Amino acid sequence: MNEFELIARYFTRPTRERAGVGDDCALIDAGDVTLAITTDMLLAGRHFFADADAEALGHKALAVNLSDLAAAGAAPRCFFLSLALPRADEIWLAAFARGLFALADAHGCALLGGDTTRAPQLRVDERAVDGALTISITAIGEVPRAAVRTRAGARAGDDLWVSGTVGDAALALAHRSGEAAGLDAADLSACRARLERPAPRVELGIRLRGLATAAIDVSDGLLGDLGHILERSQLGACVDWPAVPRSDALRRQPQALQRRCALAGGDDYELLFTAPASVRTEVLAAAAAAGVAVTRIGTMTAHAGLEVLDAGGALLDTTYRGYDHFGR
């Protein structure tokens, strides 16, 4: 049973809200405005290395939540912070709070509550070992009621777009495990920045209101996350591999690694969205106004299935899977 089957089997029930389990945000109407609510947890040893920089961690813990708000087109309003800390390390806490509030302030998103506990010590081989640092954030944003967007609204014939570039965060991980050769210091630090300090596409998400028919943020890998749009919109898609935007650093890697990083690598936090071909100019203008590049990478199809084509039109292997906490 994988992560998504587990959620579908045990935690998915009918709801009268606009969106809930199975979307980036729950969408709850409250008068003219719809509240978008999302929660994401980061766990030491699972989502970040134990030696991760505390300031970057503060940034990332909030960024991954703001990224879900961006997918829904919501403007961040406030957030709640829950921590299980192995110990009260003031140097660590000061740096974590600095990273957290720098991003919160940049988006006018206020911290309004949370919970703080001590992670229990574990005994391993008769020795006391610190329990895992766990950071959980719930973020709340607002969208005008008429502008809500989920993963489910794509239509056959819509263009498929992605913001920025994909694959650099995965390239940083591949480098760490010795798989990526020839990354110079500048490339490596750019890729590590993508992994450690992702930029949530909040402004783009807002400017795509009324243009994008469906959206998801790429947290688990481009094809896996596209799969969620296909499933919820009940469509297929055809993706043009050469069009998938990659950094120069990634383009210098062997094709197989490029594909794995760009198509299946997680942690990009770009927006993957669909929009009718009739609004191409408006989509490009929205992206320009948000200061983010967007690239058309394919088309939504009425027939089910996901096809990825290479430059010659040949079908590429798409057996890559997105990140699955129970799948490997």
Residues in contact with ligand ADP by CB under 6 A are 7, 11, 21-24, 40, 68, 219
Q: Residue 38 Cβ, how far from ligand ADP at the closest point, in Å? A: 6
Would you say 67 or 295 has its CB closer to ligand ADP? 67
The Cβ of residue 167 has, within 10 Å, a number of other Cβ atoms equal to: 33
d(CA 66, CA 213): 20
Question: Could you say whether residue 217 binds Mg ion (CB under 5 A)?
Answer: yes
List the single partner that 304 binds among Mg ion, ligand ADP, none, CB under 5 to 8 Å by kind. none
Q: Using the rule CB under 5 A, which residue among 23, 24, 168, 187 binds Mg ion?
A: 24
Give the pair of three-digit tokens for residue 29.
């109407």
Give the Cα separation of 297 and 162 in Å (integer): 7
Least Cβ distance, residue 219 to ligand ADP (angstroms): 4
**Minimal distance, residue 201 CB to Mg ion, in Å:** 11
Which C-beta is closer to ligand ADP: that of 231 or that of 282? 231
Chosen from ligand ADP, Mg ion, none, partner binding at 110 (C-beta under 5 to 8 Å by type): none
Q: Which residue's CB atom is positioned nearest to ligand ADP?
A: 11
- Nearer residue to ligand ADP within complex by CB, 152 or 238: 152
The CA distance from 44 to 27, in Å, is 29
Q: Report in angstroms how near the CB of residue 214 gets to ligand ADP at its nearest.
A: 13
Residues 33 to 72 in contact with Mg ion, rule: CB under 5 A: 68
Decide whether 230 or 279 has the Cβ nearer to ligand ADP.
230
Structure tokens at 35: 């509240």
Three-state SS string over 16-52 comes to CCCECCCCCCEEEEECCEEEEEEEEEEEECCCECCCC
* Pair 140, 39: CB distance under 8 Å: no
User: In the complex with ligand ADP, which residue's Cβ is closer, 136 or 219?
Assistant: 219
Q: Is 264 exposed, middle or buried (0-12, 13-18, 19+ CB in 10 A)?
A: buried
Q: How far is CA 184 from CA 172, 190, 245, in A?
A: 12, 10, 20
Return the range that interacts with Mg ion (CB under 5 A); candidates 85-93, 159-167, 198-206, 214-222: 214-222
Binding site for Mg ion (CB under 5 A): 24, 68, 217
